[in-house]
C-alpha cells in the first residue's frame, strides 16, 4: 500500500513539477534568513563588533521579534497581490539584507540587516511558498506541501558547506555579499517565470474579507481554534531552536564526542527528508487533523534519551525522532490551518501563525540560555521541555472538537 502511495506521489510531482518547483525554490532560498545559516556568521560578527555571545543573542532575539511583528502587517498581501509581485519584493528584500550584512561596520546597519533577514527569509519566503501551494492544491495539498518543504532540507544540506567554504577562503563579509548576488540572480529568472496560475484565487483588499481579518486579528487570536492550533505550531519551533542552539553545550556537559555528534546529523537530515515525503502522503490519506494529534509525540519521546542516557546513542535517538516530527510538521502545520480556516484568506491567517512561530525561535534560546546561566543541568532542561511538550500534545487532542 505504501509503495502505491509513493508511486502516486511520484506521478503527482512529475505532472505538477512546474508549480511545485516554485514552492521548493522559495523554501530553499528562505535558508538565507534561517537561524542555521545565520549562525555561521555569528563567531565572526562577535569578533568584528567586540561583543559577547549573550549580547548578540539579545540583539538577535530583539530583531527576530521585530521581524515577526512586521510580518503580521505584510503577510496578508499574498491573498490579494500577484504571486510574482510579492515574491520579487521578498527576494529583493532578502538580497538587500544579505548585502547589507556584509557591509555592516556599525550596529545600526547590522540590526537592520538581521531584522530584514528574519522578515524576508524565515518569514515571508516560507509564508509565500506554503500559502500559495496550499491555495492551488486541494485534493493533494499534503503531497504538494511536503515536496515544497524539501527546500528546507536541501538548504540545510548544501548551503552551510558553501558558506563555510567561502568564509574559510575569504571572509564572512564576502560570503554574505555573495549570497545577496545569488538572490539577485534568481530575480532575473523570476522575471521570465509564469506565475499566473497562482493568481486565480486572489481576493480584493477592498472587500470585507482579508481587510476585515487584518483589522480584527484579535478575534482570531482569542478564538478556540487558535488556542488549539497555536501551541503545537509554537512548540516545534521553540524546542527545536532552543535545543539546536545550545546542542554543543549539552554535548560538552554530557562529555560526548562533538565530532561524533555532528556526524549523527546525517541521520537527522535523512529522517527529516523521508518523513517530509511520508507526511504529505499521510495528510492526503488521513487528513491533517488526525496527524495533528500525534505528530509531536516522536520529538517528545526523543528528548528523554537525550536527557537521561549516558551513552551518546541517546543523542542519536533524539536526532532521529526529532527528524520525524520536524519532517511531518512542515506539511501538517500549514495543511491544518487550511483545513480549519479554509484557503480564501489563508495568507492573512497564516501570517499570525508565522508571527508566533518566529517569536518562538527567539524565545527558545533566551529561556534555555537563562536556565543554563542559573545552573540547570542538561537533564533538567530537557525534562522541562518534555513536560511542556506533553501539555501541548494533550491540548492538541481537542482538535476533534472543531
Is 355's pLDDT higher than 60?
Answer: yes
- Asked if 177 contacts 103 with a C-beta cutoff of 8 angstroms, the reply is yes
- CATH number of residue 215's parent domain: 1.20.1250.20
- Asked if 83 contacts 195 with a C-beta cutoff of 8 angstroms, the reply is yes
- Overall average pLDDT of the 267-275 stretch: 86
- Overall average pLDDT of the 39-66 stretch: 85
User: In 193-246, where do the E strands start and end?
Assistant: none
- Asked if 366 contacts 241 with a C-beta cutoff of 8 angstroms, the reply is no
pLDDT digits over 159-192, tens only? 888 888 898 898 999 999 999 999 999 999 998 8
Position 9 in a domain: no
pLDDT digits over 299-327, tens only? 999 999 999 998 999 999 999 999 999 98
Q: Match 503527482 to its residue by C-alpha cell.
A: 12
* Model pLDDT, residue 4: 47
Position 209 in a domain: yes
Position 8 in a domain: no
DSSP 42-82: HHHHHHHHT--HHHHHHHHHHHHHHHHHHHHHHGGGGGTS-
Position 340 in a domain: yes
Residue 60: name the closest of 39, 29, 40 by CA. Answer: 39
Please enumerate in sequence order all residues whose Cβ is within 8 A of that of 164, keeping only pairs 6 or more positions apart, or say none: 40
Position 206 in a domain: yes
Q: Match 495533528 to its residue by C-alpha cell.
A: 292
Position 66 in a domain: yes
Q: Which of 81-95, 145-159, 185-199, 367-381 has the highest mean pLDDT?
A: 81-95
Q: Whole-prediction pTM value?
A: 0.81
* Model pLDDT, residue 2: 47
DSSP run (H or E) holding 28: helix 17-29
* Model pLDDT, residue 1: 41
- Overall average pLDDT of the 196-204 stretch: 68
Q: Which residue has the higher pLDDT, 266 or 315?
A: 315
- Asked if 316 contacts 264 with a C-beta cutoff of 8 angstroms, the reply is yes
- Asked if 277 contacts 148 with a C-beta cutoff of 8 angstroms, the reply is no
Average pLDDT in the chain: 85
Is 5's pLDDT higher than 80?
Answer: no
- Asked if 355 contacts 72 with a C-beta cutoff of 8 angstroms, the reply is yes
Note down the domain range covering 145: 21-401
Position 15 in a domain: no
- Rounded Cα distance between 245 and 66, Å, is 20
pLDDT digits over 224-242, tens only? 888 899 999 888 889 988 8
Position 11 in a domain: no
Q: How confident is the model at residue 377 (pLDDT cuts 50, 70, 90)?
A: confident
* Model pLDDT, residue 208: 46
- Rounded Cα distance between 19 and 49, Å, is 43
C-alpha cell at 140: 493533494
Q: Which residue has the higher pLDDT, 253 or 210?
A: 253
- Asked if 361 contacts 244 with a C-beta cutoff of 8 angstroms, the reply is no
Q: pLDDT above 90 covers what percent of the chain? A: 32
* Model pLDDT, residue 216: 65
- Rounded Cα distance between 12 and 144, Å, is 8
9-13, long-range: CB within 8 Å, 24+ apart, which pairs?
9/143, 9/277, 9/280, 9/281, 12/140, 12/143, 12/144, 13/143, 13/147
Q: How confident is the model at residue 209 (pLDDT cuts 50, 70, 90)?
A: low
Residue 145 is classified by DSSP as H
pLDDT digits over 61-120, tens only? 899 889 988 888 888 788 788 889 999 999 999 999 999 999 999 999 999 999 999 999
Q: Which of 83-97, 143-157, 258-272 has the highest mean pLDDT?
A: 83-97
Split into its structural domains, the chain has a count of 1
- Rounded Cα distance between 344 and 355, Å, is 19
Residue 380: name the closest of 389, 368, 390 by CA. Answer: 368
In Å, what is the CA distance from 146 to each residue of 313, 326, 375?
Answer: 29, 11, 40
Amino acid at each position: 500500500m505504501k509503495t502505491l502511495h509513493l508511486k502516486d506521489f511520484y506521478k503527482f510531482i512529475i505532472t505538477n513539477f512546474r508549480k511545485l518547483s516554485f514552492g521548493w525554490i522559495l523554501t530553499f532560498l528562505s535558508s538565507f534568513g534561517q537561524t542555521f545559516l545565520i549562525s555561521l556568521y555569528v563567531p565572526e560578527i562577535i569578533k568584528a563588533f567586540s561583543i559577547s555571545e549573550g549580547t548578540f543573542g539579545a540583539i538577535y532575539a530583539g530583531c527576530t521579534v521585530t521581524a515577526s511583528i512586521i510580518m503580521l502587517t505584510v503577510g496578508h498581501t499574498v491573498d490579494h497581490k500577484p504571486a510574482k509581485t510579492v515574491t520579487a519584493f521578498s527576494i529583493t528584500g532578502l538580497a538587500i539584507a544579505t548585502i547589507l550584512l556584509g557591509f555592516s561596520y556599525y550596529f545600526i546597519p547590522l540590526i537592520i540587516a538581521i531584522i530584514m533577514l528574519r522578515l524576508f527569509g524565515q518569514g515571508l519566503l516560507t509564508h509565500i511558498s506554503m500559502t500559495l501551494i496550499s491555495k492551488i492544491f486541494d485534493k493533494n495539498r499534503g503531497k504538494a506541501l511536503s515536496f515544497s518543504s524539501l527546500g528546507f532540507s536541501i538548504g540545510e544540506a548544501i548551503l552551510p558547506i558553501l558558506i563555510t567554504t567561502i568564509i574559510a577562503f575569504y571572509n564572512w563579509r564576502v560570503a554574505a555579499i555573495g549570497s545577496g548576488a545569488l538572490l539577485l540572480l534568481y530575480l532575473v529568472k523570476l522575471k521570465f517565470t509564469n506565475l499566473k496560475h497562482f493568481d486565480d484565487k486572489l481576493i480584493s483588499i477592498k472587500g470585507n474579507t482579508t481587510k476585515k481579518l487584518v483589522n480584527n486579528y484579535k478575534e482570531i487570536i482569542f478564538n478556540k481554534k487558535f488556542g488549539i492550533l497555536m501551541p503545537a505550531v509554537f512548540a516545534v519551533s521553540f524546542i527545536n531552536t532552543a535545543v539546536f542552539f545550545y546542542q554543543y553545550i549539552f554535548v560538552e556537559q554530557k562529555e560526548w564526542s562533538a565530532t561524533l555528534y555532528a556526524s549523527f546529523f546525517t541521520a537527522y537530515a535523512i529522517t527529516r527528508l523521508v518523513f517530509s515525503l511520508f507526511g504529505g502522503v499521510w495528510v492526503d490519506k488521513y487528513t491533517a487533523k488526525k496527524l495533528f494529534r500525534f505528530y509531536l509525540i516522536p520529538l517528545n519521546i526523543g528528548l528523554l534519551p537525550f536527557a537521561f542516557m549516558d551513552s551518546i546513542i541517546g543523542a542519536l535517538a533524539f536526532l532521529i525522532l526529532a527528524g520525524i516530527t520536524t519532517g511531518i510538521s512542515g506539511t501538517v502545520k500549514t495543511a491544518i490551518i487550511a483545513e480549519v480556516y479554509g484557503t480564501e484568506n489563508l495568507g492573512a491567517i497564516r501570517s499570525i501563525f508565522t508571527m508566533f512561530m518566529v517569536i518562538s525561535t527567539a524565545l527558545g534560546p533566551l529561556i534555555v540560555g537563562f536556565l543554563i546561566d542559573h545552573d540547570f543541568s542538561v537533564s533538567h532542561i530537557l525534562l522541562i521541555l518534555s513536560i511542556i511538550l506533553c501539555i501541548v500534545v494533550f491540548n492538541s487532542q481537542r482538535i476533534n472538537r472543531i
